[in-house]
Amino acid sequence: MCGIFACHCHPNVQKFKPTALRMGKAVRHRGPDWSGNWIANNTILVHERLSIVGLDSGAQPLVSDDGNVSLAVNGEIYNHRILRKSFKTPYNFKTKSDCEVIIPLYLEYGIDAPKHLDGMFSWVLHDKAQDRVIAARDPIGITTFYMGRSSNTPGAVYFASELKCLHPVCDNIISFPPGHVYDSKTDELTRYFVPQWLMEPTNIPTAPVDYKLLRTTFEKSVRKRLMAEVPYGVLLSGGLDSSLVASIAQRETLRLNELARKNMNGVNGANGTNGVNGTNGVHQNGDVSSNLVGIDDGDELSTVQVLPQLHSFSIGLPGAPDGVAAQEVAKFLGTKHHTFTFTIEDGLNALSDVIYHLETFDVTTIRASTPMFLLSRKIKALGVKMVLSGEGSDEIFGGYLYFHAAPDKAAFHQETIRRVKNLHLADCLRANKSTSAWGVEARVPFLDKQFLDVAMNIDPAEKMITKERIEKYILRKAFDTTDEPDEKPYLPDKILWRQKEQFSDGVGYGWIDALKDNAELHVSDEDMKNPKPEWGDDIPDSKEAYWYRTMFDEHFPSYCASTVMRWTPTWSKQTDPSGRAIAIHENKYEETK
C-alpha cells in the first residue's frame, strides 16, 4: 500500500504546500520507501510510496512526457502489461510501474479509464491543460480512500488514503464510494462499476453452481496477486478462506520455482553455473531471499517473486483454535510457517494505536484488527512487504453463521450483496489499515472482479446453510478432490470442512472476553446513561462500544464518525457480533462461561 494526499483548486497552493506535505507525512507508515509531490496550476499531489512493482523506477507522482498529466496512486494494477500493449496511440512509458498505465488510459478513455483496470486502487489524476481532476476507487473499496471539503476553502476538494490526512484541513469528509469516479468538471461522483448482480439486487440468480469454473476462476485470481518484486507471504488463520488462498499460492510458487530452475539451468548450462543456489539468488535455508521470473501475459501477471518456500503467518493467544489449525495446514502444504502469539495485555496496550490507524469505533473491526495489527508488525520485521489474505469470502458465500437464519434465498442473496457493498467499511478497511500501519500490503483474491461475477451469479439456494450443507458449502465442494484420484488434495478434510470462526474468536476466545471485562472497568453504568451530546443518535449499545468510541474521539473530531459503519448481524436479536453468540456455534457463549 501507498499513501496519497491531494488538493485541487486551492486558492494559494504554494502557501499550502508545507501543510500538504505534513498531511502526506501522516500516512508515511503506508509508504515508507519514498516521498514525492507535484504541483500544477492550483493542484498538489503528495505520494508516500511502498514499492512492490517497478522498484527502481516507480516513484510517484507519475508525470507524462509533456508534463501535462500527473498521477498519484495507491494500489496494484494486475492487468498492466496487457493494457500497455492495447493503446491505439503509442505512449512513452517512463517507468516499469504497474500504475503508469492509468495515464494513457485517461488520455484514451477519459473518465471511463477506471472501467479498464483490473486491480485494487485509489488514485488522483490531474490534467493541467484542462485543469481537471479525476479520482477513482476500485470496485469494492479494497484500498481506503476519503474525500473532503473545507468551509475555509469552499472551491477546493481534497482526497486522501486516510482520515488523519484530511480532518486537520477539512470539516466535511466522506468515505469515497467504491466503484465510483469523481470528475472536477462536473464536481460529481459517478458509478462506473455496474454489474447486474450489484445493480439489480431483486433479480435473483438462477444459474446452478459450476464447481470447476468456481475453482479455476479463484485459482486465476490468486495467481494474479502474486505479481511482486519483493518477498511475500500468506496470512493463514487455519480457516477455510485463508487456507485455500495459501494452498493455491503454494501450488503456484512451487510451479514457478520449478520453471525458474529450468530456465536458469538452460541459460547457465553452457558455462557450468547451476543457477539454483548461485545465480538466481534462491537459497536453500528457507529465508525470504528472492528472484524474479517472467510470466506469460495470458496469466495476466508481469513478474512474480521466486521463493524457496512460501511463507505463512498466523497469530493468536497461546493454544488458540486458529493457531492449531494454521499449523496443521502449513504442515500439509509445506509452507515455512511463522506462528506468533500475543498476550491479552499486548492487545489491550495496542487498542488506542489500533483505533488511530483503523479510524473506526466498530466493535467487530477493532476486535479482529488488533491481532492483525500486531501480526503485521511481526511480518514487516521479517522483511516481507506483501501478503495474501482471505477477506470477502464470507460476504460472497454467506459464510457468517447468522446466515443460517436467512428466511429464503432472495433474502440470503440480498444480504450477501449488502455485505459486499459494505466491505470497504468493514473487513477491507481492517485488512488494508491493519497491514498498512506497518508498511505491509494485503491483497484479497476473493474480491477479484471475474471471481465476483462467477460467485455472485450463482443461484443463492446453492449457498444457503441447511442440515445437509455447512456454511460456504459450494466453495468447500469446489476444492474437494475426493472424486478426483489424479488431483492432489488442496487441504486436509478436517480443514476443508471446519466450522466458521470469526477472526476475533479464532485468535483465542479469551481475547473477546478480556475486552468485555476491561470495558466494564473503563465505562460505568452512569456513563452509559449519559452519552456525549455530540454523538447524536449514534449511541453505543454496550460498554465495549462506548469505550472504543471514547478512544476514537481522542484521535478524531466528531464529524469523522459519519465515515464509520457498525457491523451487526441480520435476522438476529443478538447485539454481540461474535460468532460464539450464534446458537449453532460449537463453542457458543453458554458453554464457555
- Tell me whether the omega of the peptide bond preceding residue 61 falls within 30 degrees of 0, making it cis: yes
Q: Which of 2, 7, 170, 560 is catalytic?
A: 2
Cell 511475500, residue? Answer: 232
Nearest in space to 282 (alpha carbons), one of 306, 264, 299, 303: 306
Per DSSP (E only), the strands in 386-451 are 386-388, 441-443
Strands (E), 196-268: 232-235
Quote the cell numbers at residue 210.
459450476
* CATH assignment of 3-194, among 3.10.20.30, 3.40.710.10, 3.60.20.10, 3.40.50.1820: 3.60.20.10
The answer to whether the beta carbons of residues 40 and 64 sit under 8 Å apart is no
Identify each DSSP E strand in 284-435 by its residue range: 291-294, 303-306, 311-316, 336-341, 386-388
Task: Quickly list DSSP for 507-558.
Answer: T-HHHHHHHHHHHHHHS-HHHHHS--GGGTT---SSHHHHHHHHHHHHHS-G
Residues of the chain with CATH 3.40.50.620: 217-268+288-528
527 among annotated binding-site residues: no
Q: What is the pLDDT of residue 223?
A: 95
Report how far residue 379's alpha carbon sits from residue 90's, in angstroms, rounded to the nearest whole number.
Answer: 41
Name the grid cell of 576: 454481540
Helices (H) and strands (E) in the chain, counts: 21, 19
Annotated binding-site residue? 393: no
Strand arrangement, sheet containing 180-183: 62-63, 69-77, 119-127, 132-137, 180-183, 188-191
Residue 428 designated active-site: no
Q: Identify whether the C-beta of residue 241 lies closer than 8 Å to the C-beta of residue 250.
A: no
The pLDDT assigned to 498 comes to 80
493 annotated as belonging to a binding site for a ligand: no
At residue 31, the pLDDT reads 94
Q: CA gyration radius for the chain?
A: 24
Global pTM reads: 0.91
Q: Is 436 exposed, middle or buried (0-12, 13-18, 19+ CB in 10 A)?
A: buried
- Annotate 3-60 with three-state secondary structure: EEEEEECCCCHHHHHHHHHHHHHCCCCCCCCEEEEEEECCEEEEEEECCCCCCCCCCC
Query: How far, CA to CA in Å, does 70 sit from each of 101, 290, 339, 362, 470?
Result: 12, 32, 43, 36, 50
Q: Are 100 and 94 in contact (CB under 8 A)?
A: yes
- Alpha carbon 461 to its chain's center: 28
Torsion of the alpha carbons at 146, 57, 81 and 120, rounded to the nearest 10: -20
Could you please report the per-residue DSSP string of 183-213? ETTTTEEEE----HHHH-TTS---BPP-HHH
Sorted by sequence, the CB contacts under 8 Å of residue 509 that are 6+ apart come out as 321, 580, 587, 592
Task: List phi, psi (to 5°) of 340.
Answer: -115, 145
Ligand-binding annotation for 235, yes or no, is yes
CB contact at 8 A, 386 and 439: no
Q: How far is CA 318 from the centre of its chain?
A: 27
Residues 346-367 as b/e (b if ≥16 CB within 10 A, e otherwise) read ebeebbeebbbbbbbbbbbbbb
Pick the CATH number of 217-268+288-528 from 1.10.730.10, 3.40.50.970, 3.40.640.10, 3.40.50.620: 3.40.50.620
Q: Which residues pair with 120 in a beta bridge?
A: 76
Residue ranges of the chain that CATH labels 3.60.20.10:
3-194
> Is 389 annotated as ligand-binding?
yes
pLDDT of residue 225: 96
Contacts 24+ apart (CB under 8 A), 540-546: 540/361, 541/575, 542/363, 542/575, 542/576, 543/516, 543/519, 544/363, 544/515, 544/516, 544/519, 545/361, 545/363, 546/519
Q: Are 5 and 61 in contact (CB under 8 A)?
A: no
Are residues 223 and 247 in contact, defined by beta-carbon separation less than 8 angstroms?
no
Going residue by residue through the chain, which has 593 residues, state the pLDDT in tens, using 9 for 90 and above.
799 999 999 999 999 999 999 999 999 999 999 999 999 999 999 999 988 887 776 689 999 999 999 999 999 999 999 999 999 999 999 998 999 999 999 999 999 999 999 999 999 999 999 999 999 999 999 999 999 999 999 999 999 999 999 999 999 999 999 999 999 999 999 999 999 999 999 999 999 999 999 999 999 999 999 988 888 999 999 899 999 999 999 999 998 888 877 877 765 554 444 333 333 333 333 344 444 443 444 444 444 555 567 899 999 988 887 888 999 999 999 999 999 999 999 999 999 999 999 999 999 999 999 999 999 999 999 999 999 999 999 999 999 989 999 999 999 999 999 999 999 999 999 999 999 999 999 999 999 999 999 999 999 999 999 998 999 999 999 999 999 999 999 999 999 998 765 554 656 688 999 999 999 999 999 999 999 999 999 999 999 999 999 999 999 999 999 999 999 899 977 667 655 555 555 565 544 33
